[in-house]
Chain A
């Protein structure tokens, strides 16, 4: 179905331009609902308001989420202010930092989409391919040595594998119409499914490098290459599963773009186009075998791949406060920027005290700090002291209700409250300083990478979650379902037991490893 829509879309145009003018509905038509994703936009509706709207004889409260393409997650203070202004004018005044190092605005109604994208464009921000069956936002580690180099690479990869269609310019920016458009790399069917690339910088694995279609690991003068990672699953469909990427080779810097290109092309040519639930690269590789994949890649490259080099990860969480290199890590719960945090960031931006780098754990690094004292003054003024428990600082949650159409349960609106109760349990066993990763999603699609958490909570229905335990603390091992569809009381009961047992153990042990053994 989606394949047909792509083919008939004239390179992502569809009749979106006309549809935007249609005032009879605040939604877009069925085909455009799919196509608009390629422009970085998801159609949603406020699920909290469905019943009330029906009573008012109004259609659902349709609005749109715009996700920006910010490869590497760096944004200037002027760009931040542009996003902030738009969130006030046209959105719900919140800015959401995603788990993939960008930001998105929610609740933009149809008539404001075009003005929003045009305003972003003035600040050199776009949303091309932030969603859809293409290479999406490229993420890069923000800690360690050589971060400028890997950031440059993220930007370069993003630009290189961007759809080349002129549709975005025509539809949103009143650009001149191009006849006979074409798409040199992707062709008119683009990729079978979304495609994600991440760059890790050992010992830091803040990007969860095993969770993406392609993971690059910076080592010396090149990169290890990991392929076929992916999180998304579907409840009740055991053909779907999360998969850790497979480490296949090492590449010198100079060859990395060519290798990525050929991996994308293999997925373009061999990915399943019949069944979207089997279409990610992870399934392509598992169906044909990793050896086949390596052979096909070598064949296409025309040169032999080097063996992967040794590396080790020892951190995945963000760092907070002033770092040794002068940057400042600011904790933002579940990436939701609003209220005092937003005011603070706006003031930092307005006074041009620094620029921002979004993290892969939904936090912000303030970079290029010009005046440390002025920054501290603002942080104090808005009461931003990062004084949160370790578990809260490394926790992640997706958007879920009320806007995500896929959500089966709450996530970002609920996790903070649940954490308060979990903190009490930890305190009970004097484990309050443990950095245990906990991640919650409202559905099994895995936006917050819950299958790589030490404690994963995956929504099954309102108020109920599958409890996953035993994940590696640096993203190197998947967790497993421990119990299905627990409510809050049951979740807390289980955690109470695990924390109690954990407290009796050797203090050097990591909770994820402990739980992994215990549930065996």
Chain B
């Protein structure tokens, strides 16, 4: 909200004040603003992210120009920036990176620039674990060529497959990139401070959704908070020095004003999940909202197909609530998988109501352990392949949420079987194949 200079002045002013003085100042400012400004000013004084690495792979020097520009600006925010041409970067260091901006042009027939090839082959050959990395990719290209920014798209696939997490939505710029790059930077900078803005909410409910006989302990947690969020977003929770854990929000802010719902599986040995599981009513919880622009509802008229297992249902519960609220015309189809119908059918009563009201058009279930031979969501998708194809041909969006290594892979495999690779690629290009996997 404030520009950097103003913020710096404010920071200097506040330094060394006593608590009483700050409280007085707070009241003074509030009076000045007729009560429109309240506490969070203090929270915004510095970026939450302390170190960023920027790598560029360039043919013409454009990528380098952008990288240097970003680097200078970020350094002014007191962020330690490591700026390197990609061929000069030792990829063995990747495991130490937390925030990584990659800027790459596309060369020739959708290939990486020559000087990036060593880096890419390191990823391909060594398959390092990149789960510590939050990435932002900028692609540069020329839309006159058929495979526009293919290198950037491929790079994202590789990073995701190695566990890296999306930080900023991939941005692919055409020859007129200079018109857009400042806007991109502003958003990135904004996010540095937004994420920093730690919020405090109060727990109002924490129940275990599973019943007797279940192998799982999945919590439904309701938090009272004024935080602004959209369906698809996640809540990030940071405990001590550990990397923040993200939990997809299970509610729509429109249907649950002032509330955030989470669906959290208590994983044995999971620091964050066991912390959340033990929360009681009236406990405070510190968190921030992690926007996920890659997982949004489409236009109200579009049909959506949602596929999930276990806690993967969280964002879809939010989607359904949102579509219920907005009385969206688009049809809704949910595939849900778990172990036992009796004890693990998360949000069963709500989904039954949605079926009855007509909000949900289809609900297909796979309870793997209710019969001799195990049945999974991908089996249900296969059973319904004709109908599914019909929906997608008419423009439906396809969403997956859940386990990256098992469910998402198997579902994708079945989709390729049903639709063919070309159709799936087309879906992806059109932004109709969306994943929130972990």
Known: A57-B209, A57-B347. A25 touches B342 (CB 8 A): no
Q: How far is the CA of A24 from the CA of B347 in the complex (A)?
A: 11
Say how far A207's CB is from chain B's closest CB, in angstroms. 38
B147 is an interface residue with CB less than 8 A from chain A: no
Say how far B216's CB is from chain A's closest CB, in angstroms. 12
B365 is an interface residue with CB less than 8 A from chain A: yes
Instruction: Give every chain A residue within 8 A of B345 (Cβ-Cβ).
Output: 58
Instruction: Give every chain A residue within 8 A of B342 (Cβ-Cβ).
Output: 26, 61, 109
A61 and B352 contact, CB distance less than 8 A: no
A488 is an interface residue with CB less than 8 A from chain B: no
The residue on A at minimum CB distance from B363 is: A24
Instruction: Give every chain A residue within 8 A of B209 (Cβ-Cβ).
Output: 56-58
A152 is an interface residue with CB less than 8 A from chain B: no
Q: How far is the CA of A478 from the CA of B7 in the complex (A)?
A: 92
B211 is an interface residue with CB less than 8 A from chain A: yes
Say how far A63's CB is from chain B's closest CB, in angstroms. 8
Q: How many A-B residue pairs have CB under 8 A?
A: 47
Q: How far is the CA of A49 from the CA of B342 in the complex (A)?
A: 13
B179 is an interface residue with CB less than 8 A from chain A: no
Interface class of chain A by DSSP? loop
B56 is an interface residue with CB less than 8 A from chain A: no
Q: How far is the CA of A25 from the CA of B367 in the complex (A)?
A: 12
Q: Mark B192-229, 1 if CB is under 8 A from A, else 0.
A: 00000000000000011111000000001000000000
B348 and A57 contact, CB distance less than 8 A: yes
Known: A57-B347, A111-B371. A24 touches B207 (CB 8 A): no
Interface class of chain B by DSSP? mixed
B363 and A54 contact, CB distance less than 8 A: no
B341 and A23 contact, CB distance less than 8 A: yes
Instruction: Give every chain A residue within 8 A of B371 (Cβ-Cβ).
Output: 111
A55 and B207 contact, CB distance less than 8 A: yes
Q: How far is the CA of A56 from the CA of B218 in the complex (A)?
A: 10
Q: How far is the CA of A110 from the CA of B211 in the complex (A)?
A: 16
A59 is an interface residue with CB less than 8 A from chain B: yes
A56 and B211 contact, CB distance less than 8 A: yes
Q: Mark B319-358, 1 if CB is under 8 A from A, else 0.
A: 0000000000000000000000111011111111001000
The residue on B at minimum CB distance from A62 is: B342
Q: How far is the CA of A54 from the CA of B365 in the complex (A)?
A: 20
B220 and A57 contact, CB distance less than 8 A: yes
Instruction: Give every chain A residue within 8 A of B283 (Cβ-Cβ).
Output: none
Which of A52, A54, A58 neighbours the largest number of chain B CB atoms within 10 Å of its CB? A58
A53 is an interface residue with CB less than 8 A from chain B: yes
The residue on B at minimum CB distance from A112 is: B370
Which of A24, A26, A59 neighbours the largest number of chain B CB atoms within 10 Å of its CB? A24
Across the interface, A56 reaches (CB within 8 A) one of B207, B351, B363, B367, namely B207
Q: How far is the CA of A58 from the CA of B351 in the complex (A)?
A: 10
The residue on A at minimum CB distance from B372 is: A115
Across the interface, B349 reaches (CB within 8 A) one of A23, A49, A52, A59, namely A59
Q: How far is the CA of A445 from the CA of B341 in the complex (A)?
A: 33
Say how far B246's CB is from chain A's closest CB, in angstroms. 23
Say how far A109's CB is from chain B's closest CB, in angstroms. 5
Instruction: Give every chain B residue within 8 A of A109 (Cβ-Cβ).
Output: 341-342
Across the interface, A61 reaches (CB within 8 A) one of B210, B211, B363, B365, namely B211
Q: How far is the CA of A187 from the CA of B343 in the complex (A)?
A: 41
CB under 8 Å from chain B, chain A span 16-75 = 23-26, 49, 52-59, 61
Q: How far is the CA of A40 from the CA of B270 in the complex (A)?
A: 47
Say how far B417's CB is from chain A's closest CB, in angstroms. 23
B352 and A23 contact, CB distance less than 8 A: no
B370 and A23 contact, CB distance less than 8 A: yes
B210 and A56 contact, CB distance less than 8 A: yes
Instruction: Give every chain A residue within 8 A of B349 (Cβ-Cβ).
Output: 54, 57-59
A59 and B367 contact, CB distance less than 8 A: no
A24 and B365 contact, CB distance less than 8 A: yes
The residue on A at minimum CB distance from B345 is: A58
Say how far A17's CB is from chain B's closest CB, in angstroms. 15
Task: Given contacts A56-B210, A59-B349, A61-B211, list 14 more A-B pairs with CB under 8 A.
Answer: A23-B367, A24-B355, A26-B341, A52-B211, A55-B207, A56-B207, A57-B220, A57-B346, A57-B347, A57-B348, A57-B350, A58-B343, A110-B341, A111-B371
Using CB atoms and an 8 Å cutoff, list the residues of chain A in contact with chain B. 23-26, 49, 52-59, 61, 109-111
Cβ contacts A to B, 24 pairs, < 8 Å: A23-B341, A23-B365, A23-B367, A24-B363, A25-B352, A49-B211, A52-B211, A55-B207, A56-B207, A56-B209, A57-B209, A57-B346, A57-B348, A57-B349, A58-B209, A58-B211, A58-B343, A58-B349, A61-B342, A109-B341, A109-B342, A111-B367, A111-B370, A111-B371
Using CB atoms and an 8 Å cutoff, list the residues of chain B in contact with chain A. 207-211, 220, 341-343, 345-352, 355, 363, 365, 367, 370-371
| For the complex of A and B, 3 pairs with smallest distance between CB atoms | A111-B370, A23-B365, A58-B348
